[in-house]
Amino acid sequence: MTTAESTLYDEENNIIYVSNIQGNHSEKDGEGFISILRPDGSVSQMNWVTGLNAPKGMAIMDGKLYVTDIDELVEINIADSTVTNRYPVQGAAFLNDAATDGEKVYFTDSETGKVHVLENGSVNTVAEGMEGINGLAFNDAGEMFVLDGKGLRKYNMQDKTAEPVNETVTGGDGLVIIDDSTYIASRWQGEVYLIRNGNEQLLLDTKGEESNTADIDYIEEEQLVLVPTFLKNRVAAYKLDY
């Protein structure tokens, strides 16, 4: 791994995707790539897809892997690892996390404070004014949750309001929804939190080791939290016990 930023477990294929920035996190240098790991931690394909710039958040829908890449959303056909489309986002500055509600692909821009959606080949903005937004996830009911400068919030796309869930874990990076009242959230600096019923519990602190905790994911069957360590160039896995 080289500057491992995001992990995403593909349950159907039982593999883990890792986005590797390698170069500058906001520079179009063509050095970024996607790796595939097995759940046991072994490398299946180090350079599964190459030629990206600074790939970050990922989401899977309809046999495609969607990856944010600075100012565009890249669509990759999982079956043959080919880039099938690139969706430029006007005015985008730092596209970051991505998630799907099963019908559309949503993704954040941490610089502009916006959430965009890809629907029927077009990109539109569904939320704005969310300073420092990064982590994004949907529950089984299709409700959207975000991590931004105000903490963990539930966002209503109909009336454009955000309901606070936890206001302590601000500036979060990765977000996983365990159930209706339980979440895992990471801070890039080296912290992973369990949030239950609005209260946070620090699960992991790697700041002393200068090991980052970027865009996490979770393998439910194994109760494994997948942690890309960014500058440490590896992916760590921790058993969730709560």
Q: What is the pLDDT of residues 56-66, one digit of tens each?
A: 999 999 999 99
What is the percent of the chain where pLDDT is above 90?
94
Nearest Cα neighbor of 238 from 196, 207, 205, 210 is 205
pLDDT per residue over 133-186, tens digit each? 999 999 999 999 999 999 999 999 999 999 999 999 999 999 999 999 999 999
Class of domain 4-239: mainly beta
Question: Tokens standing for 138?
Answer: 């949907």
In 10-166, alpha helices (H):
none
Sheet holding 32-37, edge to edge: 4-10, 15-20, 32-37, 43-52
Q: How far apart are CA 223 and CA 91, in angstroms?
A: 39
Inform me whether the pLDDT recorded for 242 exceeds 80: no
Q: Give the mean pLDDT of the chain.
A: 96
Confidence of residue 80 (pLDDT cuts 50, 70, 90): very high
**DSSP string covering 207-220, please?**
GGGT----B-EEET
pLDDT per residue over 207-224, tens digit each? 999 999 999 999 999 999
What's the confidence (pLDDT) of residue 205?
97
